[in-house]
Structure 1
Amino acid sequence: MRDGTLANPAVTVWRDVSSARPTTDRWFSACLSKSRGLENGKVDGKPALKDKTEDALVRSREWLPSSTSLNVTAQAQKPAALKQPPDLDLSSEIATRLNLVDREPVVPSQVTAQPKKSVAESRCGQEFPVLTKEMLQEVSLALGQKDPNLVLSSAFKLRITQRDLATLSDGSWLNDEVINFYLNLVMSRSEQDGSRKVYSFSTFFFPKLRGGGHAVVRRWTKAVDIFLYDIILVPLHLGVHWSLAVIDLKAKTVKYYDSMGQRHDDICSLLLVYLKDEYKIKKSKELEVSKWVVSSLKSSEIPQQNNGSDCGVFTCKYADYIARGLPLTFTQLNMPYFRKKMIWEILNQRLL
């Protein structure tokens, strides 16, 4: 009976709802009497045509849900429920279509258990805070500015123009200014939270280091002792691709994060050599590099992009989550949302 085919629908329904309330029994009894009258060629004492008999049977099949007799009996207890489907909460679907929340589609009939949030997530608030109508209007207004040289945000000795901000539009490649500004916001938040001390080099640091060694970038840390931090972020621009190296001074690791699954242990090794040279100057002693581990994260271990334009956003979000001590739970589906969120954060100079 799962396919909804009934040899005699009227009789089957009469058997299924035998335990229903009297009012329901009388309703089905009337239907049964009418159906039997149709079979005899009369309805309420009046002649009936064969095609009307078939119409009545078809209507009875359409009215009944294609389900087991148990479901029919259960629904017969509440006739009102059969007249119209229960109200569905479409807020999640609407939010998804408006690109306010990007997530996998959820079938309304399924009940999905919500994963328990970690302590870190609870402390840091929602992972995907909703962007309000006013916030989205602010984003649209900024992107709609006609002058590409108009400065829309200024902080950390950096200026973000309309041209820079436009690189956060869907399908565009992020530039150095946007990534450097965003990583400064990550550092600023860590100073306010006081949970993890995070330091980030600019996107121009690694090309200098690779081209001339520690001597070329020695002055970059003249006013800062990087060994007082827990995490050091090193954004990397390799040709036309953005990625991230992370130095964990407590765990004694140098790891490489790439949204296209590439491996660069050589970059991690070069950064470890830099640490050794920097440590000798700052601390006047040798860094025990034998206790350090360098590695590249596998594509199966971290979120991966499936297009050719989101590597910069992935790099920023790696840095954001790692700085907060959160697992990397985002996906490619979240990128349109992250782009809008990053625009608002840069305009307001704070992370949500």
Structure 2
Amino acid sequence: MKRGLKEKLQWVNGQDDTTPLAQIGDITLNKSSLHSLTANKLPDNNARYVDCLAIDAGIYINRPPEGEFDIRDGKKIFVESTINVQKLVADIENHTIARSSKIDKSLSIARIIAYLDHDMIFLPLNAGLHWYLAALDAPKREVQILNSAPGVGPTDELDHALEAITAWFQQAEERIKQLPNPTKWPDFNVATWDQKTIKGLPTQKDGSSCGLYLIKYIMLWTRSKLSKTFSKKDIDMYRRQLAHDILNSDRNLLRKNQQPDQTKAIPDDEVSTKKIRRSRTSTSSRTTQ
């Protein structure tokens, strides 16, 4: 383990449980949120389970800059957060769409309409304690399921998320008619789209790494294949690297806003984010040659 990374993990493990260590958008992470990524020699149980805050932070730091699109295989990708997907599921389970406040309704409709600027919508879903990815491919009218433990899930949460998206599109019907440009989506009834489980993906060998596989699927899925394969060893390394990337991200507001007397709060790192990304790009190029 490189010295900068090791020091960063030791720094996290030495903090108290309540101090905010990272602020990524609306996501605040403390030691407990990062514990499954930074602690040494945790048993293969819930202690190693990556929670939704760390997953959403991992999603957020990999999003393109505002105003730009994540384009893969010529298609625009929109990656939802776990929190928004959980809200979609709850909208159906709790029958809250019809009873939504004007503010909640307006926000939900605006988000659904934003989907229409994209060709694929990635939904991180949770079945009990298991994370997996559902990728909505609008041109194909297809829901692609990427699951690191094929014997676990999906359960009702996938159908409920699709039902909620369909219902919100119905709520947005008048707004959609007023859009200046017609959408390329063939229809909005995503609950009826074909569901396809993707075969041949890297799968987990333990009971606690599903969240890391989920993020890797989100980063690498190109509509028909992974842009780069990965192994269990890569996942074990990424568990540590993710904490480093969150803390060192330019989008970590707590890092940006450090005062002069707090410069030692996060130790200096020999490996910059740019170098890490350059290394990944180089590795990817060698793999595909």
TM-score normalised over the length of structure 2: 0.64
- 1:335 aligned residue (235, 251, 262): 235
- 1:146 aligned residue (2, 12, 15): 15
Query: Comparing 264-273 with 140-149, which one deviates more in the overlay?
Result: 264-273
The CA deviation string for residues 72-129 of structure 1, in whole angstroms up to 9 with x for no partner, is: xxxxxxxxxxxxxxxxxxxxxxxxxx4xxxxxxxxxxxxxxxxxxxxxxxxxxxxxxx
The CA deviation string for residues 228-250 of structure 1, in whole angstroms up to 9 with x for no partner, is: 22332222222222222222223
Q: Does 1:256 align with 2:145?
A: yes
Counterpart residue identity of residue 212, structure 1: N
Q: Using the alignment, how far apart are the partners of 2:144 and 2:155 within structure 1?
A: 8
Counterpart residue identity of residue 241, structure 2: K
Q: Does 1:295 align with 2:196?
A: yes
Equivalences for residues 1-352 of structure 1 within 5 A: 98=1, 133-134=3-4, 136-169=5-38, 171=42, 172-188=48-64, 192=68, 194-195=70-71, 196-203=76-83, 204-213=86-95, 215=97, 218=105, 221-224=108-111, 225=113, 226-262=115-151, 264=154, 267-284=157-174, 287=188, 292-298=193-199, 301-322=200-221, 326-327=226-227, 329-349=229-249, 352=277
RMSD of the alignment, in Å?
A: 3.2
Does the Cα contact within 8 Å between 1:305 and 1:314 map onto a contact in 2? yes
Does the Cα contact within 8 Å between 1:321 and 1:328 map onto a contact in 2? yes
Find the residue that maps to 1:187 and give its secondary structure: coil
Q: Using the alignment, how far apart are the partners of 1:282 and 1:149 within structure 2?
A: 41
Go from structure 1 to structure 2 and tell me whether the alpha carbon gap of 1:283 and 1:342 turns closer, same or farther (over 3 Å shift): same
The CA deviation string for residues 272-314 of structure 1, in whole angstroms up to 9 with x for no partner, is: 433332323324486366983212234xx21100011111111
Find the residue that maps to 1:178 and give its secondary structure: helix
Does the Cα contact within 8 Å between 2:78 and 2:118 map onto a contact in 1? yes
Find the residue that maps to 2:79 and give its secondary structure: strand
Go from structure 1 to structure 2 and tell me whether the alpha carbon gap of 1:211 and 1:185 turns closer, same or farther (over 3 Å shift): same
Q: Using the alignment, how far apart are the partners of 1:246 and 1:155 within structure 2?
A: 24
Q: CA deviation at 1:190?
A: 8.3
Gaps of 5+ in 1: 1-97, 99-131
Does the Cα contact within 8 Å between 1:151 and 1:159 map onto a contact in 2? yes
Gaps of 5+ in 2: 43-47, 178-186, 251-272, 278-289
Q: Using the alignment, how far apart are the partners of 2:157 and 2:228 within structure 1?
A: 22
Find the residue that maps to 2:148 and give its secondary structure: coil
Find the residue that maps to 1:183 and give its secondary structure: helix
Counterpart residue identity of residue 185, structure 1: I
The CA deviation string for residues 135-161 of structure 1, in whole angstroms up to 9 with x for no partner, is: x14532433323121211112111111
Q: CA deviation at 1:192?
A: 4.5
Go from structure 1 to structure 2 and tell me whether the alpha carbon gap of 1:163 and 1:244 turns closer, same or farther (over 3 Å shift): same
Identity between Structure 1 and Structure 2 (%): 19
The CA deviation string for residues 247-274 of structure 1, in whole angstroms up to 9 with x for no partner, is: 2223322122221113538654444433
